[in-house]
Amino acid sequence: MNSNISNILIILASLSSFACNDNSKPTNITNTFTQKVETNSYVNDLRKLIKTDFKILSSDENIFLGKLNFNPLNNRLIGDTFVYKKYVIFEPLIDFNYSGFKIFLNRESINYVDYKNSKPIYTSDDGPFYFYGIYGYFLFIDSGTATGYRGLTIINLENDKTIYQGYWNGTKIVVENSKVYTYKYFNETEPNDEHGATYKYFLHKYLFDLNTEQEIDLKTKEIVIGN
């Protein structure tokens, strides 16, 4: 047999053997491509988020990535979408009113379609309860229907335990070193104007530790204007 032809046959046989013994590679390439497409889609979605919001709490271990108003990915079924490194929060839009919220572990997607058939790690109760923010794994819920001081509930999302129920000043919640200012109201009030449209509420100020669940009386009062 001609030596050139023999060499060609050997090369063809080697290629055939390589193809037969390497069945996994096309599948791996496809999986890698799919994963890259999904990741790129999530990265692109993150660019649409609003990065600042005074209400949103954040922490080094659970960074707030941004907020999307009236999430266009969900055919207007969702009001606002809040995205953290660990969690995604959807506010369902019912009859064009905000009605509670649902929290899911972040699957690197902000599309409600990817979550709606799975169980959320937390669903808010019915009523005037509003998502305020998450610090680490501590969920802050604002409640109430009027201006002035408002209700505050803090929940540990790791064990679904309510660790605090009380009030905040209705202006801003600030967490420093895992401690947050809380307030108590002892029916101390006086009119703020001659028509009685607004009132001064004298709130007693405390410092609540998220880790120890202890509340320290700061022996000070804060005046909050409300109706």
Please check whether residue 206 lies inside any domain of the structure.
no
Q: Examine the fold and report which residue of 136, 153, 173 is the final residue of a domain before the chain moves on.
A: 136
Q: Distance between CA atoms of 122 and 28, rounded to whole angstroms?
A: 36
Domain match, 116 and 60 both = yes
Q: How many other CB atoms sit within 10 Å of the CB of residue 85?
A: 13
Q: Examine the fold and report which residue of 136, 165, 197 is the final residue of a domain before the chain moves on.
A: 136
pLDDT for residue 20: 46
Please check whether residue 196 lies inside any domain of the structure.
no
Please check whether residue 191 lies inside any domain of the structure.
no
Q: Which residue has the tokens 């009523």?
A: 127
Domain match, 39 and 54 both = no
Contacts 24+ apart (CB under 8 A), 193-200: 197/227, 198/225, 198/226, 198/227, 199/148, 199/225, 199/226, 199/227, 200/224, 200/225
Please check whether residue 226 lies inside any domain of the structure.
no
Domain match, 113 and 60 both = yes
Domain match, 68 and 120 both = yes
Split into its structural domains, the chain has a count of: 2
Residues 50/68, Cβ–Cβ less than 8 Å: yes
Domain match, 55 and 132 both = yes
Mean pLDDT of the residues in the chain = 82
Domain match, 70 and 96 both = yes
Domain match, 29 and 101 both = no
Domain match, 61 and 74 both = yes
Q: What are the residues facing 206 on neighbouring strands? A: 182, 217
Please check whether residue 216 lies inside any domain of the structure.
no
pLDDT for residue 6: 52
Q: Examine the fold and report which residue of 136, 165, 190 is the final residue of a domain before the chain moves on.
A: 136
pLDDT for residue 99: 63
Question: In terms of Cα–Cα distance, which of 153, 38, 139, 39 is closest to 82?
Answer: 139
Full domain range(s) for residue 24: 3-44
How many angstroms separate the first and last alpha carbons of the chain?
103
Q: Distance between CA atoms of 109 and 143, rounded to whole angstroms?
A: 28
H helix or E strand, kind and range, residue 216: strand 215-226
Q: Which residue has the tokens 């001081």?
A: 149
Q: Distance between CA atoms of 149 and 218, rounded to whole angstroms?
A: 18
Domain match, 61 and 15 both = no
pLDDT for residue 138: 97
Q: Distance between CA atoms of 77 and 51, rounded to whole angstroms?
A: 22
pLDDT for residue 88: 95
Residues 209/182, Cβ–Cβ less than 8 Å: no
* Grouped pLDDT means (10 residues each) for the chain, 227 residues: 49 45 46 50 87 81 88 62 94 64 94 89 87 96 91 97 97 93 94 89 97 97 94
Residues 139/157, Cβ–Cβ less than 8 Å: yes
Please check whether residue 175 lies inside any domain of the structure.
no
Task: State pLDDT tens for residues 80-95.
Answer: 899 999 999 998 765 5
